[in-house]
Structure 1
Amino acid sequence: MTMYFSVLASGSTGNAMYVEYGEHAFLVDCGLSGKQLEALFQKIDRKLNQLSGILVTHEHTDHIKGLGVIARKYKLPIYANEKTWRAMEGAIGVVDSEQKFHFEMETVKSFGALDIESFGVSHDAVEPMFYVFHANGKKLVLMTDTGYVSDRMKGIISNAGAFVFESNHDVRMLQMGRYPWNIKRRILSDVGHISNEDAAIALSEIIGEETKRVYLAHLSQDNNMKELARMSVTQTLASRDIIVGEQFDLYDTDPKIPTPLTAV
C-alpha cells in the first residue's frame, strides 16, 4: 500500500491537510468553512464521509474554523490533546462525547498499519502539536506554526519522505509592512512563526536520503510571496550545499487550491 496526501489549504486564512493509507484517511485541521472543505475534497476526488477522523494541531481559528460543523455533519471522530480540547470547545460548539478523543503530545496512535506520532512545537497556543505519519517504511511530516525548530523536533521529523513545512514570512517584508509592532513582535518571537531563511536552515539539518518532496506552507499573505519563499529557501539551502531539484523537489501550497493527491 501507498500513503497519499494533499495540502488542501495553507495560510493565515485557513489550513487543512488530507492523508490516507489503505482504509484509513484523516483530515489534519479544519480551518475553513464546511462548504469550502467540501469543494476542496471534490477537487482531490475524495469524500468527507469516508474520513477516519480529524486531527487537531491547536485551537487558533485558522485551524479549527469548520471543525464543529464538519464533525457534526459527518459524525467524525476528533483527536486533540486535553488542553486543546478545553481551549477550543467554546469555538466549535457542541460535539457528541462519542466523537471526542484525546491524542496527547509525544504519543503515537495506530490505525491499522498507519502510525501517527504527535510532537510539540513552540507557538502561542495552549499546547500546540503537529504530526508525523508513518506507513510502510515511509514518513510524512506536517509542521507549521512554530517560532523555532528545536533539536528535539529535528530528531523526530528528520529524513521524512515528504515535508509540509512552515515558511511563513520574509523578515524584511514583515518589518516594513503595515502590521502593528506588537503583531510583528509576536510573529518574530519564539512562539510565533518561522521565516523563509530559518525554514531553510532547519530543512538543511533534517533533509535526508529519503526526502523527495518539500512543500512550503503557511505563507503569510501580507509578508511573503510564493516566488520569494521558494527563492529564499533555495538559495539558503544552496549555501549549505543542498541543491533543490537534485535529491528532492520544492513545491508551493496555496490558501485556496489543493496540491494534487501525491504518494509519499
Structure 2
Amino acid sequence: MRFASLGSGSAGNGLIIEQSSTRLLLDCGFGLKDTLYRLARLGLQANDIAGILVTHEHDDHTNGVFKLANKYRIPVWLTYGTYVMSQKLIPKDQGFELHIIDSHQPFNIGDLHIQPYPVPHDAREPVQYVFKNGRHKLGVLTDVGTTTPHIEAILNACDSLVLECNHDLDMLRNGPYIRSLKQRVGSRLGHLDNESAASLLGKLDNRKLQHIVAAHLSEKNNQPALVNAALSRTLNCEEHWIGIASQAEGFDWREIK
C-alpha cells in the first residue's frame, strides 16, 4: 500500500490511497484543472481513480469532488448527512454512481478494505477513514475538534497515520482571526491543535508505525517546526522523521512495507 497528498489545508484537501490496481481519492477540495495538475504531479490521471470518498461537506474537501466524478464517471462514497449538505454541488445530469455509507459500517472498494468512523466536527455527518489491505493499516484523522475513546480504538496500531495538527494554541489565541472564528477553530467541533494531536498519538500503540504525516496545518496559526517538536517528543524520534503535508504540494508517495 502507498499513499500521497494532493495538498492539505484550508484552501483544499485531497489524499490518494493505492493498493495494487485500486486507487482511491479521499476528498477533493480543488478545482478541476488544479486537481488534474496535482494528480499528474503524482504520475496519475483522473481515469486512474477507482472511487472518491468524502469526509464531510466543507468546501475545502468537496469543491472538486462532483465535477471530477461527473466528468470521469468516478463513483463517490459519502454519508447521508454529507450527501444532503452537498446536493447543491451535484450536477443535474449526474453521470456517476453515488453510494451512501453508514458511518460505522466497513466496506470494500477493489483491493482496499475501508472502515469509516464518526468524528466531532461542525458538519452534518462527518467521518474519517481507516484503510487496510489485509496486512497493513493506514489511519486518517483530520477535521476533528477533540478525540474520543472510539477514535483512539480505531486508530490504534496503525502502520501509517495522517494526523491533523491544525493550530498552535498560543498562535491561535494571539493570531489575526476574529474572536468567533478563534472560538470555532478551538472548539470541540473545530480542529485539533498540536498538543492535542500529540496527546492522542501518545495513547496509541505505535510499535508498527512506519509513517506519521501531520496534515491540515493552518497557514496563520501554526508552523511546521512547532508540529515537528510536539509529535517528535511523543514518539521520541528525530524531528525530521515527522512528515508535513503542505497546502501547495501535499506530500509525495509514501510506501507501507
TM-score range, shorter chain: over 0.9
The TM-score, its normalising length taken from structure 1, stands at 0.93
1:245 positional shift: 3.8
Q: How does 1:112-261 map to 2 (within 5 A)?
A: 112-235=110-233, 237=234, 242-245=235-238, 249-261=241-253
The TM-score, its normalising length taken from structure 2, stands at 0.95
Q: How far apart are the structure 1 equivalents of 2:148 and 2:178?
A: 28
SS in 2 for 1:206: coil
Measured against aligned partners, the alpha-carbon deviations of 1:22-47 in whole angstroms (never above 9, x if no partner) come to: 12110000101111111111111111
On the 8 A contact 2:76/2:96 being kept in 1, the answer is no
Aligned to 1:45: 43
On the 8 A contact 1:65/1:92 being kept in 2, the answer is no
On the 8 A contact 1:114/1:135 being kept in 2, the answer is yes
1:195 positional shift: 0.4
1:209 positional shift: 1.4
1:72 positional shift: 1.2
RMSD over aligned Cα, in angstroms? Answer: 1.6
1:98 positional shift: 4.7
1:136 positional shift: 3.1
On the 8 A contact 2:231/2:242 being kept in 1, the answer is no
Q: How far apart are the structure 2 equivalents of 1:169 and 1:47?
A: 33
Q: How far apart are the structure 1 equivalents of 2:60 and 2:205?
A: 28
| 1:263 and 2:244 matched | no
1:89 positional shift: 1.1
Letter in 2 for 1:164: V
Letter in 2 for 1:35: K
Letter in 2 for 1:230: N
Q: How far apart are the structure 2 equivalents of 1:99 and 1:147?
A: 31
Q: How far apart are the structure 1 equivalents of 2:140 and 2:96?
A: 27
Q: Which runs of 5+ in 2 are unaligned?
A: none
Aligned to 2:14: 16
Q: How far apart are the structure 2 equivalents of 1:199 and 1:59?
A: 23
Segment of structure 1 superposing worse, 57-66 or 43-52: 43-52
On the 8 A contact 1:4/1:20 being kept in 2, the answer is yes
On the 8 A contact 1:4/1:19 being kept in 2, the answer is yes
Measured against aligned partners, the alpha-carbon deviations of 1:202-256 in whole angstroms (never above 9, x if no partner) come to: 0111142111111000001110111222123323x1xxxx31249x931011111
Q: How far apart are the structure 1 equivalents of 2:238 and 2:207?
A: 14
Aligned to 2:31: 33
